[in-house]
Amino acid sequence: MIELQALVDFFQYYGYAAVFGMLLLCGFGLPVPEDISLVSGGIISGLGYANVHVMVAVSLAGVLIGDSVMYNLGRLFGERVLNHRLIIRFLTPDRYEYVMRRLENHGKWVLFAARFMPGLRAPIFVTTGITRFVSYPWFILIDGIAAMISVPLWVYMGFYGANNREWLMRWISRSQYGIWVVVALAALIVVIVMLLKKRMQEKEMRFAAELHRIGEDAGACERQ
């Protein structure tokens, strides 16, 4: 609550610019919970210091620009960026290898899930840029869809709980678990779809092989 109140006081004084700047720095790996920053922006809107809908737009801009900078640093400088003293603080060689394995095994789903993983968000985005796993349009599309879920949720929660902090903190805790449940369910659906697709492809290959074998047998019979 102290951390939340400190951010609320700071945002009340500096307004939209403070929220935008804080979220931008969160995208750069600043160890401040992004969800708490978003909730704080919602709280000052609920207290009458800002318009909540404008706050959502400003927050989305701060989040997506910060993420884009991380992606493009990796894309422009490649693995050289790993030697920078600021980047190496959150993207060590071991973590870089770990993220690459996750991208190889789970594909674009990792980018979507990154928005809900504060500790891995910046490493995933920088690694995606370095490896050019997806183009920038694909990156901003996937990250944007995830942000359209998380950002309004936290801002409006802060807005509606601005005058009832006990209710707000209770729902922040519940929502954090709820988001992970949603992400886990979505991941499960993706895995099931991939397995079904793989099974269908295997059946099609077996069917094609069987047709090929039947054709060869028929040809052999005609030659005899």
Residues 75, 77: Cα–Cα separation, whole Å: 6
Percent of the chain topping pLDDT 70 = 81
- Whether residue 223 is predicted with pLDDT greater than 60 in this model: the reply is no
Helices (H), 50-164: 52-77, 93-106, 109-114, 118-131, 136-160
The token pair at 35 is: 């969800």
Q: What is the mean pLDDT of residues 167-191?
A: 61
Model confidence at 141, pLDDT cuts 50, 70, 90, reads very high
**Is the four-CA dihedral 34, 36, 40, 43 of positive or negative sign?**
positive
- Whether residue 184 is predicted with pLDDT greater than 70 in this model: the reply is no
136: in domain: yes
CA angle, corner 182, sides to 132 and 177, nearest 5?
Answer: 110
106: in domain: yes
**Can you tell me whether residue 84 is helix, strand or coil?**
coil
Mean pLDDT, all residues of the chain = 81
218: in domain: no
49: in domain: yes
Contact 158, 33 (CB under 8 A): no
87: in domain: yes
Q: What is the model's pLDDT at position 1?
A: 45
Least confident of 25-34, 113-122, 208-217: 208-217
215: in domain: no
Identify the domain containing residue 152 by its residue range: 2-193
Q: How many domains does the chain have?
A: 1
In whole angstroms, how far apart are CA 142 and each of 81, 111, 137?
Answer: 23, 7, 9
The token pair at 43 is: 């709280």
63: in domain: yes
Q: What is the model's pLDDT at position 2?
A: 45
Burial 30-49 (b: 16+ CB within 10 A, else e): eeebbbbbbbbbbbbbbeeb
Condensed to tens digits (0 to 9), the pLDDT of residues 33-92 reads 788 889 899 999 999 999 999 999 999 999 999 999 999 999 998 888 888 888 888 888
Residues 113, 143: Cα–Cα separation, whole Å: 9
Contacts by 1-5, CB closer than 8 A, 24 or more apart: 1/165, 1/169, 3/33, 3/36, 4/36, 4/39, 4/40, 4/43, 4/165, 4/169
